[in-house]
Chain A
């Protein structure tokens, strides 16, 4: 996946009140197949815009976005409240034309692997925040696209569940490697999960630093290598 000199400008208001907001300007980023790249940056630096460009939900105003088909996992789980967990997980299959039964058959075996066994027939309202996020991740995987775009996937969870889910996602990506673009405002989360961390500047966003994370997995936030990288990332964030 390659993003080359990408620029995205939004205009708000009309006539004299028109305001130009440059979300991204001159952003260049390369992601190798199977690589997990985390994008960190201050809030409002165009991180979500970046993901929507990769998913083809928006088009760049300048520059080029070349990416294999990508599916979005938004910050909120957005599970459909009238469907049970299994139907929610298989939603992408049904959208693609599979029957309800086919979608359920495809989703069922993954429930055990994701620690969701026994909750297949529960509606989202009956699931905990962490479980809902896992169902949402399953739904993303079952879309069958080579690229995953995760938009602050654990942003809405409490600290403890968040830590659990980070460990879980690291494990899930280790067993089933996917090209992943992970947007987060949490440097620690980025370092725990990614092969490489791209630091964005404040608006208009562009990549100001790229840090390789060579540390072996499973990682812990207190590993000395991670602590050093964290310092570097924070410095790049302040400078940007």
Chain B
């Protein structure tokens, strides 16, 4: 039912867009009709695929990086109260740095390769991972901690056997939120300086008056982020289901 209504919404939206574009409501160089974008998707498939691989690698790598760093940071903040007091405000502040400013600087610093992209995507993605994972770690039942203490469990044992497994779904939940910002981050990173990738393709397509190509790249990116979002959601459900959290 949900899927059906989602499909219906897309059809209605595309239909309205198509009608508006065909009625001459807007210059096709600004907003091409969906049919024109669809055509470009097909004719430029080689070009799109080639650049998609580049951007998808950056996004997947950036999210993986954010997951690893985010979880490690969340554990550190969880274990040490002074660290939490000192670093948490800085983490929040790090999210206020506009990527538009940061991206070109990172390109100067790290070059035109994949590194500045990973750094930017990692930067915009790790924050939701830290927040959700930290909440997951702290949500562990106090009685559960008491039980482990009565077994003489060390801090490491408590983390390993109770807190980390309990927080794993929360970390994935954070990664899911990160997917949405990762795509925007990747495009910005490529804008700042690159020779390939979907963001680079968009940047070139607009001044070349190839607007349908830019839109086709958007469609590819959007599809990718929906897929990634769904996959992470499925993984998270699997973890919670294994935990018997939901019937």
Contacts and interface: CB of A to CB of B under 8 A. Distances in A.
B12 interface: no
B169 to A, nearest CB: 10
Interface string B120-132: 0000000000000
Interface stretch (A24-32, A91-99, A196-204): A91-99
A33 interface: no
A123 interface: yes
Contacts, number: 56
Name, among A91, A95, A123, the residue most crowded by chain B CB atoms within 10 Å (CB to CB). A95
Contacts of A55: 150
A123 B244 contact: yes
B151 A95 contact: yes
Given A81-B243, A124-B244, A95 B146 contact: no
Contacts of A57: 146, 149-150
B141 interface: yes
B3 to A, nearest CB: 28
B148 interface: yes
A136 B112 CA distance: 57
Interface in A202-232: none
Contacts of B243: 81-82, 123
Given A74-B143, A81-B244, A94 B150 contact: no
A71 B150 contact: yes
Nearest to A58: B146
Interface string A76-90: 101011100000000
Interface range on chain A (Cβ under 8 Å from partner): 20 to 34
Contacts of B162: 80
Contact of A71 (B141, B151, B245): B151
B146 A72 contact: yes
Interface in A128-149: 143, 149
Interface of A: 52, 55-57, 69-72, 74, 76, 78, 80-82, 91-92, 94-96, 123-126, 143, 149
A94 B161 contact: yes
Interface string B231-247: 00000000100111101
B150 A72 contact: yes
Nearest to A97: B157
B1 interface: no
Nearest to B148: A95
A71 B245 CA distance: 27
Given A70-B150, A74-B147, A78-B147, 6 more contacts: A55-B150, A95-B148, A95-B151, A95-B161, A143-B151, A149-B150
